[in-house]
Structure 1
Amino acid sequence: MLEHFSYGSLFMVSFLSSTLVPLASEAFVLAFIKLDFDPYIVLFIATFANTLGSLSTYFLAFLGKNYILEKYFSKSLKKLEKFRFNFYKLGAFFAFFTFLPFIGDIFALGLGFAKYPWLKSAFFIFLGKLIRYVFIIFLGNFFQIIKI
């Protein structure tokens, strides 16, 4: 069974799950821990790939803002300006919480549309995802120790 799992597959699932593709990277992280993969490597790969996935969504919005909005959402452009200010003002908060299912992808898009600084976005996205995976790995190991 282990031949079907690799760190590369963990990277791909973690990357895709933080884009607009709905996958559960948390389940893969727990499976890798259960299969005795190195938890530090699992933590690094999952966090790094998940951060890159969110940043790809961020850059899609950052670089395609004018084209996408003018072509498809011209009537909503004025409404978006109100949200743009909120995303810019509270960008660190939104970036940190990009780990949340479903809404996190919207946060990454909003940060990109608002043109929130990408280094700040990357830092807080990475921090939020790191804390989430540390928590998941901790819980996975805790429940494995008490045999639940």
Structure 2
Amino acid sequence: MFDFLYSDISYLGLFLVCFLSSTLLPLASEAFVLGFIKLNFNPTLVLIIATIGNTLGSLSTYGLAFLGKKNILEKYFKKSLKKLEKWDTNFFKFGAFFAFFTFLPLVGDIFALGLGFAKYPFLKSAFFILLGKFSRYFFIIFLSSYF
């Protein structure tokens, strides 16, 4: 189904899938990373591109919350926003942990939104998000070499 991403677009396709999967869209970037590794793409390039794409996707979610108009977001995420408002102090206090764990499925997007709403510093968010995404993809690529 997604063969064109591997053959025609290759690394750009990987970047796009990784970017979109770390926004509020449910895509499995891990499967694409494994596919690229199994198709003998350069593991270092796959690691770098997937990490950058996924990090930028999470930062776009963070930016949406940080800069976005709250009334627009309330229209689409009303229940989640009420929960996030209660967590603002926790997001600010433990922001590095939340940022690192943005790689987790389902809750990672909520963590990125929460960091933005709590106005957690951008550079700290970016660093720990990058670190978490890199760790996940490194682990996936490392394990794939054994299977």
Change (3 A) 1:72 1:100: closer
- Counterpart-to-counterpart distance in 2, 1:70 and 1:35: 43
**CA apart distance, 1:45:** 0.1
Task: Give the match's secondary structure for 1:55.
Answer: helix
Change (3 A) 1:80 1:133: closer
- Counterpart-to-counterpart distance in 2, 1:69 and 1:134: 33
Does the CA-based 8 Å contact 1:33-1:39 persist in structure 2?
yes
**CA apart distance, 1:112:** 0.4
Q: Gapped runs of 5+ residues in structure 2?
A: none
- Counterpart-to-counterpart distance in 2, 1:121 and 1:18: 14
Q: 2:126 is matched with which residue?
A: 122
RMSD of aligned residue pairs (Cα, Å): 2.4
What are the residue-to-residue correspondences of 1:87-126 with 2, within 5 Å? Answer: 87-126=91-130
Q: 1:47 is matched with which residue?
A: 51
Q: Gapped runs of 5+ residues in structure 1?
A: 144-148
**CA apart distance, 1:84:** 0.6
TM-score by structure 1 length?
A: 0.87
What are the residue-to-residue correspondences of 1:55-94 with 2, within 5 Å? Answer: 55-68=59-72, 80-94=84-98
TM-score by structure 2 length?
A: 0.87
Corresponding letter in the other structure for 1:64: G
Q: What number of residue pairs does the alignment pair up?
A: 143
- Counterpart-to-counterpart distance in 1, 2:25 and 2:83: 26
Task: Give the match's secondary structure for 1:21.
Answer: coil
Percent pairwise identity = 74
- Counterpart-to-counterpart distance in 2, 1:32 and 1:71: 38
- Counterpart-to-counterpart distance in 2, 1:95 and 1:9: 25
